[in-house]
Amino acid sequence: MTTHAHPTRRYVLGLGCERGTDWNDVRMLAERAFQEVGIGSEQVLAVVSIDTRMEEPAILETAAHFRLPARFFEAAVLERETPRLKNPSEIVFARVGCHGVAEAAALAAAGLEAELVLAKIKSGSATAAIARIA
């Protein structure tokens, strides 16, 4: 199977956040995630989240800050990633209809052979996870 991923962009950043989260909180969490994996934003293909955050300024501004496209997935698509999540949450499921946002979105965007290289990390009201494209 051939992917059309840019050869140097092998990672996907999954983000989740409460509505109205300060974008600097999300940006700093993204930077912490990149540091923990040892990558720079130039190695990231996209910023991804759940479709209920399509218009969330914190996620859109973070993607723009790193000059990355933002992609969004329906809860049902994210729910299919549950077996691959490191931190499935019943609380998240009750609220948004899938067991995780950051991890699930990163995996959904990175493909079936992808693996989480950074399980969910949290700031006050945001989460981030990174998947590596196989």
Under a CB-based contact definition with an 8 Å cutoff, are residues 46 and 13 in contact? Answer: yes
- Residue 2's pLDDT is 43
87-113 confidence digits (pLDDT tens): 999 999 999 999 999 999 999 999 999
Instruction: Delineate the domains of the chain, giving CATH numbers in brackets.
Output: 11-132 (3.30.420.180)
Average pLDDT, the chain: 95
- Residue 3's pLDDT is 47
**Residue among 123, 85, 116, 117 at smallest CA distance from 101:** 85
Cβ neighbours of 131 (radius 10 Å) = 29
Could you say which residues of the chain have pLDDT below 50? 1-3
Neighbouring residues of 22: CB distance < 8 A, sequence distance ≥ 6: 58
State whether residue 53 is helix, strand or coil. Answer: helix
Under a CB-based contact definition with an 8 Å cutoff, are residues 114 and 89 in contact? Answer: no
